[in-house]
Amino acid sequence: MGKPTGFIEYLRELPSELEPSDRVQSWDEFHLPMPEDKLRTQGARCMDCGIPFCHSGTLISGMASGCPINNLIPEWNDLVYRGLWREALERLHKTNNFPEFTGRVCPAPCEGSCVLGINNPPVTIKNIECSIVDKGWDEGWIKPEPPVQRTGKQVAVIGSGPAGLAAAAQLNKAGHWVTVFERADRPGGLLMYGIPNMKLEKEKVVLRRLNLLEAEGVKFECNTEVGKDLPVQTLLQDFDAVLLCTGATKPRDLPIEGRELKGIHFAMDFLTANTKAVLDQHHNGNFISAEGKDVVIIGGGDTGTDCVGTSIRHGCKSLTQLEIMAKPPLTRSPDNPWPEWPKVYKLDYGQEEAAAKFGEDPRGYLTTATKFEGDANGQVKAIHTVQVEWAKNDKGQFIPQPVPGTEQVLSAQLVLLAMGFLGPEQPLLDALGVERDPRSNVKAEHEKYATSLPGVFAAGDCRRGQSLIVWAINEGRGAARECDRYLMGQTDLP
């Protein structure tokens, strides 16, 4: 596989990026292309490890270890090393419908379980993946491939995020007529409106793939909320099968004193309005602006980071990010061994930009908000915080306890809540009458995806809860397979 001594000879190298002070001036992607010779060198580092954990796709300690869609990583690393780019693209598309998405926004659990990563920096799997598919688009190798025959079956997919798109692509490939219903004005779900443009370009990357799906026969019905604009009974009567891929879009709130004040928003409302303004090319105030404001973001993770990067591009006055968990260590701790996902400290793109502008990482760890304070007009003006320590309660559960004497008051005219999601919105599920699990998700067994309603399937975050884009693609593909089996009595889908 590749060059047997490549992992000894070559160091890990990532593509260059625009300097933070330059890239925050626009909403464009800031990663620069890597020369082909360097990409081939990075492919040579794939070390013929014998048991490639990188594509195992398992859960260890509740976290993804390896690629959940089982990408054939060693194979396309070897093909890139040998300069066989088109063959590498074919291998990549065997397991992943949208490598240009995952190659940009997936946190790369594959790299966390790379065998080389036991005692050296892992192979640059994510960058190679993205480079393969980008070259495929540039060379014109990726073209519409509509099915040769149609089955005549009609399938409705509700939601056009990664799970819905993966399901639609696979079902269309099987020959079914697929209609994807999306309540927003553009398809793509969180790929379109939940991830900022500088992280995942909409016109050049997302819409390009959506246009390809349309050319292959997938139909998108936007501005259509099932259960509101389209009655549920009409849906069930007009389609032979239905896939629920609505995501887990109910945000976690922070019900403390002052929550009703103006200027306190859920992160997704902030990000969605901003991306819509960018796409509509009227970034003239028709969105939640951070310009000139002291911004406090409550919550870490990718969504919090995206709020950081967006606020800086608006021109915020100051920025603080509160994280209730402890600061991760610089290297793996003894209780976080390989091949678990490495819970280590990293400076993501947003924090890197904030550090460049304000001089330091904006995150304050082991800190929580206790009260919002407003002015005479009902506008938030400050947030009261306290540091916490994690200790066991009388039930043996670890919970955050306030540390006396650590109280602070931070100036804030804009507060963004980025604390994750609690599950899918319930009105549509109530209208359908599908069974829910104790966490309010659609109840459907993994690998079978059938709900309590015959002919109705569920996949992605609405079934498993908030998760990674690769799990959504995994579930969308799996649900398509089982839906095809339901419609045809057998299936050839993987």
Q: Is the pTM above the cut of 0.75?
A: yes
- To the nearest whole percent, how much of the chain has pLDDT over 70? 99
Can you give the pLDDT at residue 476? Answer: 98
Can you give the pLDDT at residue 50? Answer: 83
Every domain range in the chain assigned CATH 1.10.1060.10: 6-138
Every domain range in the chain assigned CATH 3.50.50.60: 154-249+422-488, 253-419
Can you give the pLDDT at residue 442? Answer: 98
Can you give the pLDDT at residue 144? Answer: 98
**Which residue spans within 202-331 are E strands per DSSP?**
219-221, 241-244, 250-251, 264-266, 294-298, 318-323
* Cβ contact 216:172 at 8 Å: yes
Can you give the pLDDT at residue 226? Answer: 96
What digits encode the pLDDT tens for the residues 221-237? Answer: 999 999 999 999 999 99
Please state the φ and ψ torsions of residue 182, each to the nearest 5 degrees: -135, 130
Q: What is the architecture, at CATH level 2, of domain 154-249+422-488?
A: 3-Layer(bba) Sandwich (3.50)
What digits encode the pLDDT tens for the residues 86-101? Answer: 999 999 999 999 999 9
Can you give the pLDDT at residue 51? Answer: 87
Strand partners for 59: 64
Can you give the pLDDT at residue 1? Answer: 62
Give yes or no for residue 395 having a pLDDT over 90: no
Give yes or no for residue 2 having a pLDDT over 90: no
Find the mean pLDDT for residues 57-82.
93
Please state the φ and ψ torsions of residue 133, each to the nearest 5 degrees: -70, -35
DSSP designation for 97: S
**Which residue spans within 307-418 are E strands per DSSP?**
318-323, 363-365, 367-374, 380-392, 398-402, 408-411, 414-417
What digits encode the pLDDT tens for the residues 245-303? Answer: 999 999 999 999 999 999 999 999 999 999 999 999 876 668 999 999 999 999 989 99
What digits encode the pLDDT tens for the residues 116-137? Answer: 999 999 999 999 999 999 999 9
Find the mean pLDDT for residues 178-195.
97
- Burial classification of residue 436, based on how many CB atoms lie within 10 Å of its CB (0-12 exposed, 13-18 middle, 19 or more buried): middle
Can you give the pLDDT at residue 49? Answer: 87
Distance CA 276, CA 122 (A): 37
Least confident of 390-394, 404-408, 429-433: 390-394
The CA–CA distances, whole Å, from 342 to 60, 335, 475 equal 11, 10, 24
CATH of 6-138 among 3.40.50.1220, 3.30.1310.10, 3.40.50.920, 1.10.1060.10: 1.10.1060.10
User: 48 falls in which pLDDT band (50, 70, 90)?
Assistant: confident
Find the mean pLDDT for residues 4-25.
94
Give yes or no for residue 357 having a pLDDT over 70: yes
Mean pLDDT of the chain: 96
Give yes or no for residue 143 having a pLDDT over 70: yes
Q: Is 143 left (phi over 0), alpha (psi -120 to 50) or beta?
A: beta
Domain 253-419 grouped into CATH 3.30.70.2190:
no
